[in-house]
Structure 1
Amino acid sequence: MRKALLVFVSAVVAATGAPAAVAVPHGSVVDPPTRNYGCWDRWGDKHLSPAMKSEDPMCWQAYRENANAMWDWNGLYREDVGGKHREAIPDGQLCSGGRTHDGRYAALDLVGEWRAAYRNNLFTMNAYDSARHGADYYHVYITEQGFDPLSESLGWDDLELVKKVGSKPPAENTRFTVDAGERSGRHIVYTIWQASHMDQSYYLCSDVVFTGAK
């Protein structure tokens, strides 16, 4: 499926008049899906459907705020951060990478009932790297137990670093196991992917409901 993503997007643009400003592909976390990848995956070929408003209201507002955030789901990054992620990304703007690309991804910061993926507490993450940038590292954070993504804006102090993955060579898919510990219920998994081809940092929010099972 992943190899056909650009072909699919091009077909959607041609067939539906969707925004044509699709950047050269980079990558993202596709499992568990990030907010904008999930919206694109579920609604990309039916983004004008009125059903989205009731079935997936967070995607509905995101498409209307800036549909290019979904078409360019694999371009949510900042450059030249120098590893100073906390300094670069303010509280309340973690899911948009600090409103990167002139605020294109701002709608991803909105608090609400984003569609969440159900996962066991020991789960496999898949980082899709279509440009084969490779990685200097991946840092995976998960919200602390007690944080409520339905009513609270995400800040750095709400997160616990649960996984560090070192250098990875260029590959279309990079998979690794993450342990959510004793968490249960709804959480945000926050991934920082530091690409290795240049100082390019990706900031990625995935909504997950942990079952408690391993």
Structure 2
Amino acid sequence: MARRRTARRALLIAAAAALFTAPAVTPAAAHGAPVAPVSRVAACSSLSGMYASTAACRAAIAQHGGQTFDDWDNLRIAGVDGRDRQRIPDGKLCSAGLDEYRGLDVARADWPATRLTAGARFTLTYRTTIPHSGNFELYLTNDTYDPAKPLTWSQMSTQPFLTVTDPQVTNGAYHLTGRLPSGRTGRQLLYTVWRNTSSSDTYYSCSDVVLSAPKAAQQPTATATPTPTRSRTATASPTPTTAPASATPSPAGSSSAPAAANVAATEPATQPVAASGTDSRTRLVAAAGGIAVLGGGAVAALTLRRRRR
């Protein structure tokens, strides 16, 4: 009887030890944030030393306990279910309403920004530490946006200008390619929402951008050039069509905007136009023939005179 009790106690102790030492089973969580165009949370983290010392990042870090945002890949809310505007209050879009990230909501016009061209194609690079399936939605601020004021939902487009579902991970990042809205220039804000489908999490991030107007495509008009031949006239070349300009985003912090595409103009060959009247060559041959006839007549008359004598 004593042996049985001892064996039972040993089994209970072993089971308890296994319970406390076994790793906790938790659902995998997707993590990540945009690094190009650089997001505020990534710029003010240890990922990039070139931005953390800027005035905007110093102000954000001061509200983050004086530490850089090394938790840059964890700005998320669970159970949003697409109700972003109901869950995240105005003035707190960049922090998603999380107090730990409140420094990202500081309203100022000197956040590290990426230069892009309005209406041009670009690629957003979203670095991930734990890939998961989900949908990416990209929004851009509207013409009421003022970087010196708190960001509100009314300053944001109501529909995403780009949506990508389950992109592949390449070199540790998602690469979302699309075209930026046109007609908006100056300092704007790109708002990225990543809705996980394999978990209940939704990620939010703010990327400051400076949009430049596309360079006007040159459309040279070819002028008519007279030909040296009198029997030909030059026709004017039609105005060439403009090739669509393509642009790629400049690296973060770059001061140069993408160059517009070169436009090549082709001048068609001038078409011959029939000359009016008799051709110059015909006139020349006729004149030469007349001279020959006159010359022949003079020789015949001289021979006749000699015979008469």
* TM-score class normalised by the smaller sequence: 0.7 to 0.9
Could you say what secondary structure the match of 1:197 adopts? coil
Please, which runs of 5 or more residues in structure 1 have no aligned partner? 1-23
TM-superposed CA distance for 1:167, in Å, is: 2.2
TM-score, normalised to structure 2, is 0.53
Tell me the CA shift for residue 196 of structure 1: 2.3
1:183 positional shift: 0.9
Q: Determine the structure 2 residue equivalent to 1:58.
A: 56
Q: Distance in 2 between matches of 1:25 and 1:162?
A: 21
Instruction: Say which of 118, 129, 145 aligns to 2:115.
Output: 118
Q: Distance in 1 between matches of 2:70 and 2:183?
A: 35
Aligned-residue identity in percent: 28
Separation in 2, partners of 1:173, 1:196: 18
User: How far off is 1:143 after superposition?
Assistant: 0.8
Deviations 1:57-109 (A, max 9, x none): 1101122221556101111010111111111101100000112xxx1100000
1:211 aligned partner, one-letter code: S
The number of residues matched between the two structures is: 178
Is the CA contact (8 Å cut-off) linking 1:133 and 1:170 kept in structure 2? Answer: no
- Whether the aligned pair in 1 keeps the contact of 2:37 and 2:209 (CA below 8 Å) is yes
Q: Which residue pairs with 2:100 in the alignment?
A: 104
The C-alpha deviation readout for 1:26-72, integer Å capped at 9, x for no partner, is 1111111110101223338x96xxxx3xxx11101122221556101
Highest relative contact order (Cα 8 Å, sep 6+), 1 or 2?
A: 1
Given residue 110 of structure 1, which amino acid in structure 2 is its aligned partner? V
Q: Match of 1:86? A: 85
Asked whether the equivalents of residues 63 and 70 of structure 1 are also in contact (C-alpha less than 8 Å), the reply is yes
- Maintained 8 Å contact 2:136/2:164: yes
What is the aligned partner in structure 1 of residue 48 from structure 2? Answer: 42
- Structure 1 equivalent of residue 149 of structure 2: 152
Aligned-partner residue type, residue 197 of structure 1 = S
Any unmatched runs of 5+ in structure 2?
Answer: 1-28, 215-246, 248-309
CA distance in 2, matches of 1:68, 1:75: 15
- Please give the TM-score of this superposition, normalised by the length of structure 1: 0.76
- In structure 2, the residue matched to 1:173 is 173
Look up the match of 1:208.
209
Task: Work out whether residues 132 and 170 of structure 1, in 8 Å CA contact, stay in contact via their aligned partners in 2.
Answer: no
Q: Which consecutive aligned stretches of 4+ in structure 1 deviate over 6 angstroms post-superposition?
A: none
Tell me the distance in 2 between the aligned counterparts of 1:190 and 1:30.
13
State the 1:164 CA deviation. 3.7
Within 5 Å, which residues of 2 pair with 1:8-27? 26-27=31-32
Cα distance in 2, alignment partners of residues 68 and 92 from structure 1: 22
Higher helix share: 1
Which structure has the larger Rg over C-alpha atoms?
2
Higher strand share: 1
The 10-residue stretch of structure 1 (89-98 or 172-181) with the greater mean CA deviation from structure 2: 172-181
Offset of 1:145 from its aligned partner?
2.0
- Cα distance between partner residues in 1 of 2:30 and 2:201: 13
Give the SS at the match of 1:71. coil
TM-align CA RMSD = 2.2
